[in-house]
């Protein structure tokens, strides 16, 4: 039987999605993760430490010595480099490890995009010993501070004025230290005005297949960047969507990505499209549930597994209904006490599901300190406008209670 290794974080919400997809495809799934298995897998679970790339890859390779492995997938950022190193050693279609590392280091990513003449913001790096104010003069204000290796908006701070730069940089570095990271180098980027979009895609033999373009109709409030609503299909004009996909594909080539899922964030300003970031994994959290493909409602996880073993289905396109997801915003840091309004939202028009992924007693925080989702609301309708209306109504109905 065909065997695929999926590298998942132990705190993931998606293990069940991949298990279901593997059963539908008739392939054996091996879950590699840190700590306890995210779901019961028996002897099909492999414990690894993604922070030790070589050791983690060696464990996967050793597994392949006992029985052939036909594909390997990283479901989140932590496993991207491990999957590339193990895949290369096993001779499987996979990204070059250096290309995978470029998606995990924002400075390396920016340099590669610059070499490939990919449109992006002005940028520079700042070490703890550097004079941040001097470096910032070349970027201008407002600007955005980013840690090199964190994701989900952690440590990402918008800075409006020069007098706020020092405190914001220290705040970002404190967040880096809280995660156990040791590199406190920061990326400074010019703040880009416009409307943000995300491309969900698969790469095979270096070619990008764009599966969906998500609009992000709600702008972040404050100096953090919290994701809230994603809606597809995009409402941008066809010519702009063509440019979005072109720039995304140019970024994939410039980074040297050749295989697997990608999630690419871009900024659209008029007819100009620039890259925000490129991730060598699929969309985070449970957001993949907002997508289905073909007549049989094929899941994104199924397409990812097909891609890993060369069973690509390029004729599959996103289902015709408009769809979207709301990632419940966290009003402030503290202890989660519960939610109000969930049952009311479940009965609202166009809402197809509500999934809560945090429990009362969990300590939560919005970005830039926080980096996790507490719940998701899904919607489908005939038009993107109707989906947006439903999700905004849900966002105003649900109250997140923080102690």
Structural domain ending residue among the three candidates 163, 190, 217 = 190
CA–CA dist 134, 370 (Å, integer): 29
Let me know whether 372 and 325 are in one domain.
yes
Let me know whether 10 and 62 are in one domain.
yes
- Strand 272-279, strand 207-215: pairing: unpaired
Q: Do 261 and 17 form a contact (C-beta atoms < 8 A)? A: no
The tally of domains found in the chain comes to: 3
Structural domain ending residue among the three candidates 138, 158, 190 = 190
- How confident is the prediction along the chain (403 residues), in pLDDT tens digits per residue? 899 999 988 767 788 889 899 999 999 999 999 887 767 778 889 999 999 999 999 999 999 888 899 999 999 899 999 999 999 999 999 999 999 999 999 999 999 999 999 999 999 999 999 999 999 999 999 999 999 999 889 999 999 999 999 999 999 999 999 998 888 999 999 999 999 999 999 999 999 999 999 999 998 878 889 999 999 999 999 999 999 999 999 999 999 999 999 999 999 998 899 999 999 999 988 889 888 886 567 899 999 999 999 887 666 677 789 999 999 999 999 999 999 999 999 999 999 999 999 999 999 999 999 988 999 999 999 999 999 999 999 999 999 999 9
Domain region containing 153: 122-190
377: domain CATH number is: 3.30.470.20
Let me know whether 97 and 137 are in one domain.
no
Structural domain ending residue among the three candidates 150, 165, 190 = 190
Whether 398 is in a domain gets the answer yes
132: domain CATH number is: 3.30.1490.20
Query: Among 257, 264, 277, 281, which Cα is nearest to 75's?
Result: 281
Let me know whether 28 and 84 are in one domain.
yes
Q: What is the pTM for the complete model shown?
A: 0.95
Q: Do 102 and 109 form a contact (C-beta atoms < 8 A)? A: yes
Measured from the Cβ of residue 378, the count of other Cβ atoms closer than 10 Å reads: 22
Let me know whether 13 and 96 are in one domain.
yes
The H or E element containing residue 327 is: strand 322-327
Let me know whether 90 and 136 are in one domain.
no
Let me know whether 139 and 95 are in one domain.
no
Whether 384 is in a domain gets the answer yes
Residues 6+ apart with CB under 8 A from 161: 141
- Strand 3-7, strand 71-74: pairing: parallel
Q: Do 307 and 74 form a contact (C-beta atoms < 8 A)? A: no
Whether 182 is in a domain gets the answer yes
Whether 347 is in a domain gets the answer yes
Let me know whether 19 and 47 are in one domain.
yes
- Strand 157-159, strand 399-402: pairing: unpaired
Let me know whether 151 and 87 are in one domain.
no
82: domain CATH number is: 3.40.50.20
- Strand 375-381, strand 322-327: pairing: antiparallel
Whether 184 is in a domain gets the answer yes
Whether 148 is in a domain gets the answer yes
Whether 261 is in a domain gets the answer no
Backbone phi, psi, residue 343, to 5°: -65, -35
Query: Among 325, 324, 322, which Cα is nearest to 381's?
Result: 322
């Amino acid at each position: 039987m065909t065997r695929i290794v999926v590298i998942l974080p132990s705190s993931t919400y998606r293990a069940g999605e991949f298990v279901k997809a593997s059963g539908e495809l008739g392939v054996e799934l091996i879950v590699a993760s840190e700590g306890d298995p995210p779901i019961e897998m028996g002897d099909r679970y492999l414990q690894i430490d993604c922070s030790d790339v070589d050791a983690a890859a060696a464990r996967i390779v050793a597994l392949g010595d006992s029985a052939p492995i036909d594909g390997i997938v990283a479901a989140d950022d932590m496993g991207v480099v491990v999957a590339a190193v193990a895949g290369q050693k096993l001779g499987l279609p996979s990204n070059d490890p250096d290309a995978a590392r470029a998606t995990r280091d924002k400075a390396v990513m920016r340099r590669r995009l610059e070499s490939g003449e990919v449109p992006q913001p002005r940028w520079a790096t700042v070490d703890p010993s550097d004079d941040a104010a001097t470096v910032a003069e070349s970027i201008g204000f407002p600007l955005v501070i980013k840690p090199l290796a964190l994701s989900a908006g952690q440590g990402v701070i918008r800075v409006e004025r020069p007098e706020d730069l020092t405190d914001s940089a220290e705040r970002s570095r404190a967040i880096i230290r809280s995660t156990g990271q040791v590199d406190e180098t920061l990326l400074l980027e010019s703040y880009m005005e416009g409307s943000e979009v995300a491309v969900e895609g698969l790469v095979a033999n270096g070619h990008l297949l764009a599966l969906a373009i998500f609009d992000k109709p709600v702008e972040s409030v404050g100096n953090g960047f919290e994701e809230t609503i994603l809606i597809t299909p995009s409402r941008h004009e066809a010519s702009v969507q063509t440019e979005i996909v072109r720039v995304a594909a140019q970024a994939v080539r410039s980074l040297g990505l050749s295989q697997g899922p990608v999630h690419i964030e871009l900024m659209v300003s008029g007819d100009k499209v620039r890259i925000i970031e490129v991730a060598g994994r699929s969309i985070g959290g449970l957001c993949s549930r907002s997508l289905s493909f073909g007549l049989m409602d094929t899941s994104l996880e199924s397409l990812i597994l097909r891609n890993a073993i060369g069973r690509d289905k390029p004729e599959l396109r996103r289902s015709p209904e408009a769809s979207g997801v709301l990632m419940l915003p966290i009003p402030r840091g503290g202890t989660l006490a519960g939610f109000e309004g969930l049952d009311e939202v479940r009965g609202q028009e166009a809402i197809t599901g509500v999934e809560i992924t945090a429990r009362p007693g969990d300590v939560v925080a919005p970005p830039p300190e926080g980096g996790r989702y507490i719940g998701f609301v899904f919607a489908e309708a005939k038009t993107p406008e109707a989906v947006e209306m439903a999700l905004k109504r849900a966002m105003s109905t649900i109250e997140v209670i923080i102690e």
